[in-house]
Amino acid sequence: MKNGTTKLIAFSGIMGAVIFVVLLLETQVFASILPISPCFLSIPLAVALSIWGDWKKMFIGGTIFGFCSFFMSFMFPSMIVFANPLISVLPRVILGITAYGTCVGIKKLTAKSNSKFLRNYLPDAVGGIVGAVTNTVLVVTGLFIFKFTGIEDALTLIISFNALAEIICCAILVPIIAGVIRKYYKTEANIEERKSDKENKGEE
């Protein structure tokens, strides 16, 4: 197995653990204080993981987020609706695709701009917003299709508070998180390149 693939698998495992813990805190601890089930940090984190690399990596964040929701549905009765993978996993996989596609599309439009904000921050922010909206629309659609009880109350709550808060958080946090991940991987690549150069010089 190639070194890059090994690192990606390890990275995905660590991020999966982080998303699981964050989602657990959000849906169980925070929801016990207020009558809502927010994903203010886990969704931005999932979206950021979906847009930081190339198209091969766009499935990572959303898929991890979806499976975390799926597994937690068997642990907590309040999350039973996510026991259906068409509500927990599929919308999050599509979340990664729409967020990545939006980010790449806007980057192409702003690539020649002199503004760092337009080149870097805006594509990630808009990608984050699209990802959050994708998640909300598809999850709510799934609830309607499978006729879960209490959907009217849930929809009112989602539209009135959760969705707006998640969109705002994604617009702010996704560029920051994605930037940190890109910087980390760029640093790792530079270190590997320097090591390779030293080894080649040593052989000479």
Here the CATH number for the domain that contains residue 179 is: 1.10.1760.20
| Nearest of 110, 126, 103 to residue 51 by alpha carbon | 103
Distance in angstroms (rounded) separating the CA atoms of residues 36 and 26: 9
Q: Is residue 186 part of a domain?
A: yes
Count the neighbouring beta carbons within 10 Å of the beta carbon of residue 39. 25
Rounded mean pLDDT of the chain? Answer: 84
Q: Is residue 199 part of a domain?
A: no
Provide the pLDDT for residue 108.
94
| pLDDT > 80? residue 36 | no
Residue of 16 and 150 predicted with greater confidence: 16
Rounded to two decimals, the pTM is 0.84
What range defines the domain where residue 123 resides?
Answer: 3-193
- Give the pLDDT band (50/70/90) at residue 174: very high
- Give the pLDDT band (50/70/90) at residue 78: confident
Distance in angstroms (rounded) separating the CA atoms of residues 2 and 19: 26
Count the neighbouring beta carbons within 10 Å of the beta carbon of residue 40. 16
Residue of 193 and 170 predicted with greater confidence: 170
Q: Is residue 198 part of a domain?
A: no
Q: How buried is residue 65: exposed, middle or buried, by Cβ count under 10 Å (0-12/13-18/19+)?
A: buried
Indicate the DSSP class of residue 73.
Answer: T
Count of structural domains within the chain: 1
Distance in angstroms (rounded) separating the CA atoms of residues 2 and 30: 41
Mean pLDDT of 31-44: 74
Q: Is residue 202 part of a domain?
A: no
Q: Is residue 47 part of a domain?
A: yes
